[in-house]
């Protein structure tokens, strides 16, 4: 007890001293832990690096420092498609967490992976010409067989998985297409129905008008789709061949039609100089047969 | 004048080449075999783990072993042992580099990379592990072919990153003319610095114009500390952004706890704020209570009573009629 008391009194004395010096301000004072110091011994790092850095030529290590390769157009297109798809996904499924594209983890994942991909591409573009200049072979010939990192069995599995994925994608696409087609067909059907109804209504309206004597125009009965030229043509034909009325017997000759000789033209007198159509070089049939018989003999 | 001279010299050279060198008539068995001087970069990496790493981490280690023909295996180390024992193990196995995996709490994986006899060494937290057996990684490469090592430009900017780059190059680079290696270049490792971590990817080179397919594995190295010695010594650098996974999980738990408390409080508040039945204010609700027939009779009875004082209950009377009509 006595020792703790003495400690307490000690700290009190310290505080009093501090207050007298003006280091303490009135109010509650809290003890603050000093912020943790992180070691960063730059000199030591440099020295250590110099100690163990290998002095071998580049070909022994194959290390490269490179930026990302320029974005290939197909990769850019893929990125865009991915972005669009993701946007649609978020729009159509409100259960998914709604985040803006800059903070979207899925989209960011894709972007990050393309970044790594591009860096690797840049490395390939830089290193392979360098290796070729040294006269080293880079491509494995087709007849060079060696153990691979992944077994054939595993690769087969990957292939099967890819195929399955592709098939599923195709199927879903086809179903989507069919659905769209059906939707479109339905829409067209409805549209046609509405159009017909509208036409019918307009027709009935006009009929009503005519019946009440508000208009005498019967043009709507001809159909509005025909052009002026077509209507004119129809009229002429109707006049020529008849329209409506009784058809039976209308084409039989009558007394008047038989007596009508207005269209009769007297045959022309033959011109003496012109003899028929002019002698044709081809003989008549009988003569041709006879000639053929002679020729065979 | 010069031409004939030249030709003559050429002729003598071809003659020399044409003659095969005769083998020595007698060879002694004591003679040392001719040395291979092509294999210069003699890196040997001890790849092993301590006890208590998860299956996924073990697969990652196996994958790395597959890709590194210059590795040497070692059985699992007891956790109780001091890490400086590793130096002796490396010496016994004739290795000058070491990759050691260390599991903690059956979920966290740490990786030590070390240059063995005299440092430096680095400790990393390994995050986001995908092994090579993952089906979505479609590439494949020769077992033991030499990888190109591609580093981000930020690796040259800071001294601790340059040191790590050198360490990674010496460990992951396959030495030229290593007996187990293949003479072709069919894959690239990329080390990218992002978010203060080192992201590792392995791509297969499909064609020379930069078509790639990922082989795997994938992992992210979060550097924790760099030491001057191998598996020990003074710390040269500490990562100020590093938060240990246990602490990170604790933070998440704490925030979740606060969320729960908040919800409970809100519920309590809501229950006190709108207690009582504020909605039972419609005056005619009692009409629909009970049996309708009884109710009608009751109303009828009331009607008879009302005749004496009709003014007061006019409203009710009307109701009775309406009900009857229905």
In a domain, A58, yes or no: no
Q: Which two tokens stand for residue A34?
A: 């000093």
Within 230-289 of A, beta carbons closer than 8 Å to B belong to none
CB contact under 8 A, B190 and A120: yes
In a domain, B298, yes or no: no
In a domain, B267, yes or no: no
Say if residue A232 is in the same domain as residue A160: yes
* Number of folded domains that form chain A: 3
CB contact under 8 A, B41 and A115: no
State yes or no: pLDDT of B313 exceeds 70. Answer: no
Q: How far apart are CA A171 and CA A164, in angstroms?
A: 11
User: Which has the closest alpha carbon to B205: B183, B184, B177?
Assistant: B184
The pLDDT assigned to B309 comes to 59
Assign A72 to helix, strand or coil: coil
Instruction: Count other Cβ atoms within 10 Å, centred on residue B83.
Output: 17
In a domain, B293, yes or no: no
Work out the pLDDT band at A223, boundaries 50, 70, 90.
Answer: low
Residues of B whose CB is below 8 A from A68: none
The pLDDT assigned to A170 comes to 97
Residues of B whose CB is below 8 A from A38: 238-240
State yes or no: pLDDT of B109 exceeds 70. Answer: yes
State yes or no: pLDDT of B319 exceeds 60. Answer: no
In a domain, A268, yes or no: no
Alpha carbon of B294: minimum distance to chain A alpha carbons (Å): 52
Backbone angles phi, psi at A295, to 5 degrees: -60, -35
On whether the CB atoms of residues A146 and B184 are closer than 8 A, the answer is: no
In a domain, B95, yes or no: yes
Within 115-134 of A, beta carbons closer than 8 Å to B belong to 115-117, 119-125, 127-128, 131
In a domain, A148, yes or no: no
Alpha carbon of B220: minimum distance to chain A alpha carbons (Å): 13
Q: Which residue has the higher pLDDT, B284 or A117?
A: A117
In a domain, A122, yes or no: yes
The pLDDT assigned to B96 comes to 94
The pLDDT assigned to B18 comes to 60
Look up the domain containing B191 and give its range.
45-250
User: Which has the closest alpha carbon to B38: B159, B177, B144, B148?
Assistant: B177
Residues of A whose CB is below 8 A from B150: 64-66, 119-120, 122-123
**Cα–Cα separations (whole angstroms), residue A89 to A79, A93, A97, B309:** 15, 6, 11, 72
Q: How far apart are CA B256 and CA B262, in angstroms?
A: 10
Q: How far apart are CA B218 and CA B133, in angstroms?
A: 11
Which residue in the set B66, B148, B173 is minimally distant from A127, CB to CB? B148
Q: How far apart are CA A287 and CA A113, in angstroms?
A: 96
Work out the pLDDT band at B14, boundaries 50, 70, 90.
Answer: very low
The pLDDT assigned to A297 comes to 63
User: Which has the closest alpha carbon to B295: B317, B322, B323, B314?
Assistant: B323
Contacts of range B237-246, beta carbons closer than 8 Å, 24 or more positions apart: B237/A39, B237/A40, B237/A41, B237/A45, B237/B160, B238/A38, B238/A39, B238/A40, B239/A38, B239/B196, B240/A38, B241/B196, B242/B125, B244/B125, B245/B107, B245/B108, B245/B125, B246/B105, B246/B108
Question: Which residue in A has a C-alpha nearest to residue B204's C-alpha?
Answer: A120
Q: How far apart are CA B142 and CA B155, in angstroms?
A: 28
Look up the domain containing A4 and give its range.
1-30
**Cα–Cα separations (whole angstroms), residue A35 to A214, B240, B314:** 98, 11, 84
* Number of folded domains that form chain B: 1
Work out the pLDDT band at B7, boundaries 50, 70, 90.
Answer: low
Say if residue A161 is in the same domain as residue A221: yes
Say if residue A111 is in the same domain as residue A75: yes
CB contact under 8 A, B159 and A46: yes
Q: How far apart are CA A128 and CA B205, in angstroms?
A: 10
Q: Which two tokens stand for residue B81?
A: 């042992």
Share of chain A above pLDDT 90, in %: 41
In a domain, B291, yes or no: no
Question: Which residue in A has a C-alpha nearest to residue B67's C-alpha?
Answer: A149
The pLDDT assigned to B112 comes to 96
**Cα–Cα separations (whole angstroms), residue B224 to B164, B201, B236:** 12, 20, 11
Q: Which two tokens stand for residue A293?
A: 């018989």
Q: Which residue has the higher pLDDT, A240 or B57?
A: B57
On whether the CB atoms of residues B81 and B31 are closer than 8 A, the answer is: no
Instruction: Count other Cβ atoms within 10 Å, centred on residue A102.
Output: 7
Q: Which of A98-102, A147-151, A167-171 has the lowest mean pLDDT?
A: A98-102
In a domain, A111, yes or no: yes
Instruction: Say if A165 is an interface residue toward chain B (CB within 8 Å).
Output: no
Q: Which two tokens stand for residue B78?
A: 């007891």
Encode pLDDT of A98-108 as tens digits: 888 777 777 78
CB contact under 8 A, A146 and B149: no
Measured over the CA atoms of residue B303, residue B304, residue B305 and residue B307, the dihedral's sign is positive
Say if residue A71 is in the same domain as residue A123: yes
Residue range A33-59: mean pLDDT, rounded: 93
For testing the chain B interface, which of A60, A109, A133, A155 should be mutated: the one with the most B CBs within 10 Å? A60
Alpha carbon of B96: minimum distance to chain A alpha carbons (Å): 11
Checking DSSP bridges between strand A63-65 and strand B45-49, what pairing results, if any? unpaired
Residues of B whose CB is below 8 A from A154: 133
Residues of B whose CB is below 8 A from A121: 210, 212
User: Which has the closest alpha carbon to A113: B127, B201, B210, B138?
Assistant: B201
In a domain, B23, yes or no: no
User: Which has the closest alpha carbon to B79: B110, B119, B52, B107?
Assistant: B52
State yes or no: pLDDT of B92 exceeds 80. Answer: yes
Query: Can you tell me the ipTM of this complex?
Result: 0.72
Q: How far apart are CA A260 and CA A255, in angstroms?
A: 9
State yes or no: pLDDT of A67 exceeds 80. Answer: yes
Residues of A whose CB is below 8 A from B215: 149-150
Residue range B201-215: mean pLDDT, rounded: 93
Assign B230 to helix, strand or coil: coil
User: Which has the closest alpha carbon to B234: A45, A49, A53, A54?
Assistant: A45
Say if residue A170 is in the same domain as residue A220: yes
Encode pLDDT of B113-134 as tens digits: 999 988 899 999 999 999 999 8
Alpha carbon of B21: minimum distance to chain A alpha carbons (Å): 27
Q: Which residue has the higher pLDDT, B229 or A219?
A: B229
- Report the phi/psi class of residue A278: left, alpha or beta, with left for phi > 0 and alpha for psi in -120 to 50: left
CB contact under 8 A, B185 and A127: yes
Residues of B whose CB is below 8 A from A162: 138
CB contact under 8 A, B237 and A51: no
In a domain, A198, yes or no: yes
Peptide bond into A144 cis (omega under 30): no
In a domain, B3, yes or no: no
Encode pLDDT of A239-296 as tens digits: 888 787 777 877 788 888 888 888 888 888 877 665 555 567 888 899 999 998 887 6
Q: How far apart are CA B178 and CA B14, in angstroms?
A: 35
Q: How far apart are CA B203 and CA A149, in angstroms?
A: 12
Q: How far apart are CA A119 and CA A125, in angstroms?
A: 10
Q: Which residue has the higher pLDDT, A222 or A293?
A: A293
For testing the chain A interface, which of B38, B59, B138, B210 should be mutated: the one with the most A CBs within 10 Å? B210
Residue B174's CATH number = 3.40.50.10480
CB contact under 8 A, A49 and B141: no
Residues of B whose CB is below 8 A from A144: 184
Work out the pLDDT band at A137, boundaries 50, 70, 90.
Answer: confident
Say if residue A117 is in the same domain as residue A162: no
Buried/exposed B37-50: b ≥16 CB within 10 Å, e otherwise: eeeebebbbbbbbb
User: Which has the closest alpha carbon to B71: B102, B50, B99?
Assistant: B99
Residue range A16-29: mean pLDDT, rounded: 78
Say if residue A159 is in the same domain as residue A128: no
Q: What angle do CA B119, B222, B227 make, to 5 degrees?
A: 20
Q: Which two tokens stand for residue B83?
A: 């890490």
Question: Which residue in A has a C-alpha nearest to residue B228's C-alpha?
Answer: A48
User: Which has the closest alpha carbon to A79: A115, A53, A133, A51?
Assistant: A115
Q: How far apart are CA A238 and CA A226, in angstroms?
A: 16
**Cα–Cα separations (whole angstroms), residue B111 to B12, B34, B104, B126, B220:** 62, 39, 11, 7, 11
Q: How far apart are CA B71 and CA B173, in angstroms?
A: 11
User: Which has the closest alpha carbon to B223: B154, B148, B121, B129?
Assistant: B121
In a domain, B179, yes or no: yes
> For chain B, first and last CA: distance in Å?
140
The pLDDT assigned to A101 comes to 79
CB contact under 8 A, A149 and B140: yes
């Amino acid at each position: 007890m006595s020792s703790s008391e003495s400690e307490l009194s000690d700290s009190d004395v310290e505080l009093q001293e501090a207050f007298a010096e003006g280091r303490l301000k009135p109010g509650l004072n809290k003890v603050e832990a000093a912020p943790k110091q992180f070691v960063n011994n730059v000199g030591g790092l440099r020295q250590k690096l110099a100690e163990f850095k290998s002095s071998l030529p580049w070909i022994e290590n194959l290390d490269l420092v490179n930026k990302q390769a320029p974005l290939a157009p197909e990769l850019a297109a893929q990125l865009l498609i991915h972005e669009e798809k993701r946007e649609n996904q978020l729009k159509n499924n409100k259960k998914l967490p709604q985040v803006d594209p800059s903070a979207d983890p899925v989209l960011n994942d894709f972007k990050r992976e393309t970044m790594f991909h591009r860096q690797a591409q840049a490395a390939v573009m830089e290193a392979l010409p360098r290796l070729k200049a040294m006269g080293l072979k880079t491509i494995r010939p087709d007849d060079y067989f060696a153990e691979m990192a992944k077994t054939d069995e595993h690769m087969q599995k990957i292939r099967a998985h890819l195929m399955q994925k592709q098939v599923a994608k195709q199927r879903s696409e086809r179903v989507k297409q069919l659905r769209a087609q059906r939707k479109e067909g339905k829409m067209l059907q409805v549209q046609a129905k509405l159009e017909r109804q509208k036409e019918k209504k307009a027709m009935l309206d006009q009929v009503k008008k005519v019946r009440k004597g508000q208009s005498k125009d019967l043009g709507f009965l001809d159909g509005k789709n025909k052009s002026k030229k077509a209507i004119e043509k129809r009229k002429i034909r109707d006049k020529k061949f008849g329209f409506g009325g009784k058809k039976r017997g209308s084409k039989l000759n009558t007394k008047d039609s038989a007596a009508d000789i207005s269209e009769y033209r007297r045959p022309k007198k033959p011109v003496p100089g012109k003899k028929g159509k002019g002698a044709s070089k081809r003989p008549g049939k009988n003569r041709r047969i006879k000639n053929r018989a002679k020729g065979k003999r | 004048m010069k031409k004939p001279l030249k030709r003559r010299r050429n002729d003598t050279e071809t003659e020399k080449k044409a003659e095969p060198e005769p083998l020595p008539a007698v060879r002694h068995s004591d003679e040392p075999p001719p040395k291979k001087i092509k294999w210069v970069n003699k890196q040997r990496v001890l790849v092993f783990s301590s006890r208590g790493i998860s299956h996924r981490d073990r697969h990652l280690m196996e994958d790395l072993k597959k890709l590194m023909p210059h590795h040497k295996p070692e059985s699992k180390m007891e956790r109780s042992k001091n890490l400086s024992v590793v130096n002796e193990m490396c010496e016994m196995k004739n290795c000058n580099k070491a990759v050691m995996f260390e599991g903690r709490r059956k979920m966290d994986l740490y990786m030590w990379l070390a240059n063995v006899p005299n440092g430096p060494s680095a400790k990393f937290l390994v995050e986001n592990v995908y092994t090579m057996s993952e089906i979505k990684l479609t590439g494949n490469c020769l077992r033991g072919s030499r990888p190109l090592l591609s580093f981000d430009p930020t690796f040259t900017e800071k001294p601790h990153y340059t040191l790590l780059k050198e360490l990674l190059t010496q460990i992951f680079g396959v030495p030229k003319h290593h007996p187990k290696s293949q003479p072709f270049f069919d894959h690239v490792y990329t080390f990218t610095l992002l978010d203060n971590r080192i992201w590792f990817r392995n791509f297969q080179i499909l064609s020379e114009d930069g078509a790639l397919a990922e082989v795997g594995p994938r992992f992210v190295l979060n550097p924790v500390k760099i030491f001057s010695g191998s598996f020990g010594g003074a710390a040269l650098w500490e990562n100020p952004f590093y938060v240990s996974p246990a602490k990170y999980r604790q933070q998440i738990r704490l925030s979740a706890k606060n969320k729960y408390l908040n919800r409970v409080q809100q519920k309590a508040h809501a229950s006190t704020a709108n207690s009582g039945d504020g909605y039972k204010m419609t005056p005619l609700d009692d009409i629909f209570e009970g049996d309708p027939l009884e109710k009608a009779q009751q109303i009828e009875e009331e009607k008879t009573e009302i005749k004496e004082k009709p003014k007061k209950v006019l409203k009710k009377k009307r109701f009775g009629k309406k009900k009857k009509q229905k």
